[in-house]
């Protein structure tokens, strides 16, 4: 397979990681990069040895005909316009998360993409691991019966100011720069993971939610202008009656706690999203009333390889060359955006929000 010629726009922390992953791939060749900051351009040219480096990503899109596809690795507030420009130039697009600022922007990208170009999203990072692949096949096989609830609850505790290290980035917990807070920054992964494992069959109908900003004692961990959520909780009911019950918090007055589950009328699957090395997936089998509920092992293995940025980039490159679709498409991203928009709308009004 001929490597896909890649350009990376945004060479910050996540962009640098994406560049290294793409350069390590046999399916890609990084031929161009762009960043507004001179020190990042210097790193791209001298350290990463990227042949062509631009200050403005628009110049990369307009002038570099060798680039077939671009990775957009900068905050969502500016990403939509750059993605549309890339699509108008006939280039495939791989978007950092969140996939867009809102559902309207996702719909616009779908229209600009057309039938020939590919658009993927890094929110699929954790579905590349073997455990997630096994879980997806298991759910599709019907062992859980009819799905009743998709659930996750993840808390990360706040720390001390001296342990926090660097100055917090301005995009974190910012509606203007990153479309929101912990919901858009981290639960895009949670939602992509559990909804993808369920085959993207969940279609949200009604959402009731609440959000809270960072607690005062942990405000040092976010920029002074941060105005979005450090903690959210939501209940979404799907058109098929499935409940999506979700909660996540960062800088919380709560010990570390992480649970992802898919609950059916015949069994419950216990997931583990993050790459933690050796681990085991289990499920509670309630299909035999004479035996009661028995916890069974579904999979044991090592998940330190197979997912992450490298996996998403390879998946994107294969979609371009082989004619398939990326693991997370814009249509999948629309479901994530609809849920996210409804959570924020419900939190603002205090009422349940209906999604047509």
Angle, helices 103-113/330-349, rounded to nearest 10 degrees = 160
pLDDT, tens only, 310-325: 999 999 999 999 999 9
Mean pLDDT, all residues of the chain: 96
Q: What percent of the chain stands above pLDDT 70?
A: 99
133 with 91, same domain: the answer is no
pLDDT above 80: residue 162? no
240 with 322, same domain: the answer is no
State both tokens at 249: 């918090």
CATH number, domain with residue 85: 3.40.50.720
Q: What is the pLDDT of residue 87?
A: 98
144 with 275, same domain: the answer is yes
Residue range(s) defining the domain that contains residue 15: 4-125+309-328
pLDDT above 70: residue 164? no
29 with 120, same domain: the answer is yes
Q: Indicate the burial class of 143 (C-beta count within 10 angstroms; 0-12, 13-18, 19 or more).
A: middle
Better-predicted residue by pLDDT, 331 or 356? 331
pLDDT above 70: residue 48? yes
Q: What is the pLDDT of residue 163?
A: 61
| Sign of the alpha-carbon dihedral angle for 110, 112, 117, 118 | negative
pLDDT above 70: residue 268? yes
Whole-number Cα distances in Å, 8 to 75, 105, 312:
14, 21, 14
pLDDT, tens only, 173-204: 999 999 999 999 999 999 999 999 999 999 99
Our count of domains for the chain comes to: 2
CATH number, domain with residue 213: 3.30.360.10
Better-predicted residue by pLDDT, 307 or 21? 21
pLDDT above 70: residue 86? yes
Q: What is the pLDDT of residue 206?
A: 98
48 with 188, same domain: the answer is no
């Amino acid at each position: 397979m001929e490597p896909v010629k890649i350009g990376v726009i945004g060479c910050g922390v996540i962009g640098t990681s994406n560049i290294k992953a793409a350069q390590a791939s046999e399916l890609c060749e990084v031929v161009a990069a762009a960043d507004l900051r001179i020190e990042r351009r210097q790193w791209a040219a001298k350290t990463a040895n990227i042949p062509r480096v631009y200050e403005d990503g628009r110049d990369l899109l307009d002038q570099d005909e060798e680039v077939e596809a671009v990775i957009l690795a900068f905050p969502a507030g500016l990403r939509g316009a750059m993605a549309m420009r890339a699509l108008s130039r006939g280039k495939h697009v791989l978007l950092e998360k969140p996939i867009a600022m809102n559902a309207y922007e996702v719909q616009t990208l779908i229209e600009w993409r057309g039938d020939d170009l590919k658009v993927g999203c890094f929110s699929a990072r954790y579905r590349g691991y073997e455990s997630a692949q096994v879980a997806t096949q298991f759910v599709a096989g019907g062992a859980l019966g009819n799905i009743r609830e998709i659930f996750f609850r993840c808390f990360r505790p706040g720390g001390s100011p001296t342990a926090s290290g660097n100055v917090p980035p301005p995009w974190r917990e910012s509606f203007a720069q990153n479309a929101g807070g912990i919901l858009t920054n981290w639960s895009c992964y949670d939602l992509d993971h559990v909804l993808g494992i369920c085959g993207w069959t969940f279609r949200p109908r009604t959402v009731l939610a609440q959000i809270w900003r960072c607690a005062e004692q942990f405000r040092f961990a976010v920029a002074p202008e941060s105005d979005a959520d450090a903690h959210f909780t939501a209940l979404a009911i799907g058109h098929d009656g499935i409940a999506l019950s979700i909660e996540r918090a960062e800088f919380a007055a709560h010990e570390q706690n992480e649970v992802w589950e898919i609950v059916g009328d015949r069994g419950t699957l216990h997931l583990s999203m993050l790459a933690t090395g050796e681990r085991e997936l289990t499920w509670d089998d309630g299909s035999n009333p004479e035996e009661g509920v028995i916890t069974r092992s579904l999979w044991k293995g090592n998940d330190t390889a197979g997912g992450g940025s490298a996996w998403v980039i390879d998946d994107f490159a294969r979609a371009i060359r082989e004619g398939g679709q990326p693991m997370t498409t814009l249509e999948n991203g629309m479901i994530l955006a609809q849920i996210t928009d409804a959570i924020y709308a419900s939190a603002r009004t205090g009422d349940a929000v209906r999604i047509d």
